[in-house]
Amino acid sequence: MQSMAWFKRQEKGIITPTEQKKETPDGLWYKCPECGTVADMGEHRRLLYTCGKCNYHDRIDSAEYFEVLFDDNRFTELDTNLSSADPLHFVDTKAYPQRIAATQRQTGLKDAVRTAHGLMNGQDLVVACMDFRFIGGSMGSVVGEKIARAIDYARQHRIPFLMISKSGGARMMEAGYSLMQMAKTSAKLALLSEAGVPYISLLTDPTTGGVTASYAMLGDFNISEPGALIGFAGPRVIKETIGKDLPKGFQSAEFVLEHGFLDFIVDRKQLKQQLTDLLHMLRPAVVEAPAVPR
Amino acid sequence: MLLDFEQPIAALEGKLREMQKLAQDSQVDVSEAVEALETKIKALKKETYANLTRWQRVQLSRHPDRPYTLDYIEGMTQKFVELHGDRTVADDKAMVGGFAELDGRTVMFIGQQKGRNTKQRQLRNFGMPNPEGYRKALRLMKLAEKFGKPIVTLIDTPGAFPGLEAEERGQGEAIARNLREMFMLKVPVICIIIGEGASGGALGIAIGDRVLMLENTWYSVISPESCSSILWRSWNYKEQAAEALKLTATDMLKAGLVDGIVKEPLGGAHTDPQKMILALKKTLTKTLDELEALPADERISQRIDKFGKMGVVVE
C-alpha cells in the first residue's frame, strides 16, 4: 500500500539544522520575561511596552520614550552630529574606534544618548534619553557633552528638563574623560537649578555607577518605573564585598523609594500625564495687574 | 616593604652602608669609592623613577609608608581641630576633616583617611567612605563657606564603599550632591590627589578651582584591577589596564583633566615624607594666594567653565 507513504517519516530523528528552524518571525509576538505571558506586538506597543498581565516594564530605547512623551511623536533632535573620539587610543580586547563603529552599525545610533526638544501635552520639554543598547548606555564624552548642551538649552530657553537615565555607568574606554563627565553635567545642573528651571530625573532599568552618582540623582524630582534596578555599585560587586546573597528586591526602584531617594514610581502608561500635571503645577503664577481706578 | 623596582636601588644602598661601616672600622680611606657609589645610586634612582610604568606608579601610590591625610594636616599646620559627623547617621572614619591653621591662615582640610596596620585599616574602612562620609565632607565645606575659609581636600581612596548599607543610605546621591554643591562654593577650593584617586569616590570631594596630583599617584574612572576584570574578564591584565587607562599624573595633566603636578622626593613620597609634606605646603600656600586674589563669582565661573570643557568629541 502506498496511500499513506507521504505520512511516513523516511529518515529517523529531527534533521533540520537549528538555523533553518521555522519560528515565529521576530517582532510579531512579545513574550514577557517575567511571567511568560505572550502578547502580540501591536498590543505590547499599545501598552507602552509593559506586560498586560504582570505589568513588567520592558526596557525601551530613546525612540520609544520620545514616542511615549512627545505629542504626535514630533520633536526636534539636538546635537545629532556628535560622536566619540578616541583620545586615549584605548585598546582592550578590541580597539575602541572599532567598538564604536560596530555598535553604530548594529544600533543605528551615534552614541548612548539622544536629546530633543518637543511638546508634551502642549508644554515645551527638553528630554535627554539614554540608549542602553549602545555599549551598556555607558557615559563617555559624547554622552556628557550632549547632556550638558541639552541642559544649557533648557536653561537658556527656560524649558523644563527631563533626563531619562539607563546606564551601567561611566565608559571605561574614555577613562578620566568619562569620570569628568559626571562633574561637567553636575556643573550644568547647578546652573539650571540656580535659574529655577525644573529638572525631572527619570531613572529607568538599569541605572548604576557614575550616572547614579551624578545627574540621575540630582533631579528636583527623582522618579522611576516599577521594578527598575537603581544603585551606585552593581549587585555583583556588593555581593562580593559582603560575601552574602543580597536580599530580594535590593536596589529595586521600590527599595530606593522606601529608603527616601525617589519621589515616586510611575507606571509608564501614566508617565506622560503625570509629568504634565507636575510641570503644570510648577508654572509661574500669572499675576494679573490690579485694575487701577481712575 | 620593597617594590620590585626598588630592589636594585636598595641593594646598592646596602652596599654603600657596608662600605661606610668598613671605612669607619678600619680607618681606610674609601671616600672616592663612596662618592662613586653615591653618584651611581642617584643616577639609578633618577633613571628608574623617570621610566616607571603606569602600573609601577599605581604601586607607589599605594605604598603604606606614604603620608596619609592626617599626616599632611599634622605636618603642615600649627593647630588642627578635627570635626566629626554628618549630623544625620554617623561619623565616617574613612573621611576626616576640620579647621587648621596654616601659617596664620585658617583652612578647612577634608580627606579620605587610610590606616597603616590591620586595626587602623579596619577602623578607616581602607579609605572607602560611606555616604555619611561624603555628607560629612559637604557639611564641613558649607561650614568653611559660612565663615569664609578656603577648603583643601586631600584625595586618597580605592573607591566609595560598595556595601549594602552604603546603597541603602544613597551612596550615589551623596556623591552626586557633592559634585553639584562644590561647584557653587564661594570660597577657594583646592583638591590634591595624594595617593589613589578611584572614580566617583575620589571625585566626590575633588571639584575645585585647582586640582593637583602628586607625582606618583593615579586618578581615573576605575582601578586597573577592576578594569582588567571587566574588560578582559580576568584579574591578570592590570598592567595592560593601567597602560590603557592613562591614569598617571602626567597623563591626566596632558589630557587637561587636572591643573598641575606636585613633584615628590626622588624615590617617592614614602622615602622622605617630611620633604613631601613641606613641598605640598609650599604649593598650597602659593595656590591659596593666587585664588584668594580672585572675586568669588569669578572663581565659580572659572571652576564651572574648566570642568565644562572636559571631554573630546567629534562633531
Domain positions in chain A are 1-58, 60-280
- Identify the residue whose cell numbers are 639609578: B44
DSSP three-state, residue B159: coil
A177 to B304: CB separation less than 8 angstroms, yes or no: no
As a whole number of angstroms, the distance between CA A263 and CA A257 comes to 7
A217 to B204: CB separation less than 8 angstroms, yes or no: no
Chain B residue with CA closest to A190: the answer is B180
Residues of chain A with pLDDT under 70: 1-27, 287, 293-294
Best A78, A173, A177 member to test B by mutation, with max B CBs in 10 Å, is: A177
Q: What is the mean pLDDT of residues B274-302?
A: 98
Higher per-residue confidence, A240 vs B118: B118
DSSP annotation string for A88-145: T--BSSSBHHHHHHHHHHHH--SSSEEEEEEEETTEEEEEEEE-TTTGGG-B-HHHHH
Domain positions in chain B are 4-51, 57-308
Task: Summarize pLDDT for B96-112 with one digit per residue, the tens.
Answer: 999 999 999 999 999 99
**What CATH topology corresponds to B57-308?**
2-enoyl-CoA Hydratase; Chain A, domain 1 (3.90.226)
Which amino acid appears at position B66 of this protein?
R
Note which residues in 212-271 of chain B have CB less than 8 A from chain A: 219-222, 227, 230-232, 240-241, 244-247, 251-252, 255, 257
Pairing verdict, β B313-314 and B218-220: unpaired
Using a CB-CB distance cutoff of 8 angstroms, which residues of chain A are in contact with residue B218?
A: none
pLDDT value, residue A233 = 95
B255 to A260: CB separation less than 8 angstroms, yes or no: no
As a whole number of angstroms, the distance between CA A188 and CA B307 comes to 10
Our CA-based measurement puts residue B154 at a distance from the nearest CA of chain A, in whole angstroms, of 18
Q: Are A24 and A9 in contact (CB under 8 A)?
A: no
Residue B237 has pLDDT above 80, yes or no: yes
pLDDT value, residue A20 = 58
Q: What is the mean pLDDT of residues B264-270?
A: 95
As a whole number of angstroms, the distance between CA B153 and CA B287 comes to 13
Which element (helix H / strand E) includes B25? Answer: helix B7-26
Give yes or no for B171 touching A (CB within 8 A). yes
Our CA-based measurement puts residue A22 at a distance from the nearest CA of chain B, in whole angstroms, of 36
From the list B176, B149, B172, the residue with the least C-alpha distance to B161 is B172
Q: What is the mean pLDDT of residues B32-55?
A: 93
Q: What is the mean pLDDT of residues B123-127?
A: 97
> pLDDT averaged over chain B?
96
Using a CB-CB distance cutoff of 8 angstroms, which residues of chain B are in contact with residue A229?
A: none
Our CA-based measurement puts residue A27 at a distance from the nearest CA of chain B, in whole angstroms, of 32
A84 to B314: CB separation less than 8 angstroms, yes or no: yes
DSSP annotation string for A49-82: SB-TTT--B----HHHHHHHHSGGG-EEEE-TT-
Question: Grid coordinates representing A62?
Answer: 530613546
Q: Are A203 and A222 in contact (CB under 8 A)?
A: yes
Higher per-residue confidence, B29 vs A87: A87
Our CA-based measurement puts residue B203 at a distance from the nearest CA of chain A, in whole angstroms, of 8
B172 to A83: CB separation less than 8 angstroms, yes or no: no
Distance of CA B312 to the CA centre of its chain: 26
pLDDT value, residue B31 = 85
Residue B259 has pLDDT above 90, yes or no: yes
pTM given for the model: 0.93
As a whole number of angstroms, the distance between CA B101 and CA B277 comes to 15
Percent of chain B scoring above 90 in pLDDT: 92
As a whole number of angstroms, the distance between CA B28 and CA A62 comes to 82
Note which residues in 48-77 of chain B have CB less than 8 A from chain A: none
Question: Based on the number of CB atoms within 10 Å of its own CB, is B312 exposed (0-12), middle (13-18) or buried (19 or more)?
Answer: middle
Q: Are B9 and B41 in contact (CB under 8 A)?
A: yes
Bond from prior residue into B224 cis (ω within 30 degrees of 0): no
Task: Summarize pLDDT for A233-273 with one digit per residue, the tens.
Answer: 999 889 988 888 999 999 999 999 999 999 999 999 999 99
**Sign for the pseudo-dihedral over CA of B227, B233, B238, B244:** negative
Half-sphere exposure of B213 (CA within 13 A, CB side): 27
B176 to A213: CB separation less than 8 angstroms, yes or no: yes
From the list B104, B110, B58, the residue with the least C-alpha distance to B82 is B110
A261 to B170: CB separation less than 8 angstroms, yes or no: yes
Least CB–CB distance from B231: residue in A93, A174, A233: A93
A60-280 carries CATH number 3.90.226.10: yes
Q: Are A230 and A208 in contact (CB under 8 A)?
A: yes
Best A217, A223, A230 member to test B by mutation, with max B CBs in 10 Å, is: A217
Note which residues in 175-214 of chain B have CB less than 8 A from chain A: 175-177, 179-181, 183-184, 199-200, 203-204, 207
Give yes or no for B308 touching A (CB within 8 A). yes
pLDDT value, residue A21 = 53
As a whole number of angstroms, the distance between CA B118 and CA B124 comes to 10
Which element (helix H / strand E) includes B97? Answer: strand B95-102
Using a CB-CB distance cutoff of 8 angstroms, which residues of chain B are in contact with residue A180?
A: 203, 257, 307, 310-311
B247 to A176: CB separation less than 8 angstroms, yes or no: yes
Our CA-based measurement puts residue A289 at a distance from the nearest CA of chain B, in whole angstroms, of 36
DSSP annotation string for B33-85: HHHHHHHHHHHHHHHHHHS--HHHHHHHHT-TTS--HHHHHHHH-S-EEE---
Q: What is the mean pLDDT of residues B6-15?
A: 94
A238 to B221: CB separation less than 8 angstroms, yes or no: no
- Identify the residue whose cell numbers are 580576568: B234
Distance of CA B97 to the CA centre of its chain: 15
**What ipTM is given for this predicted complex?**
0.96
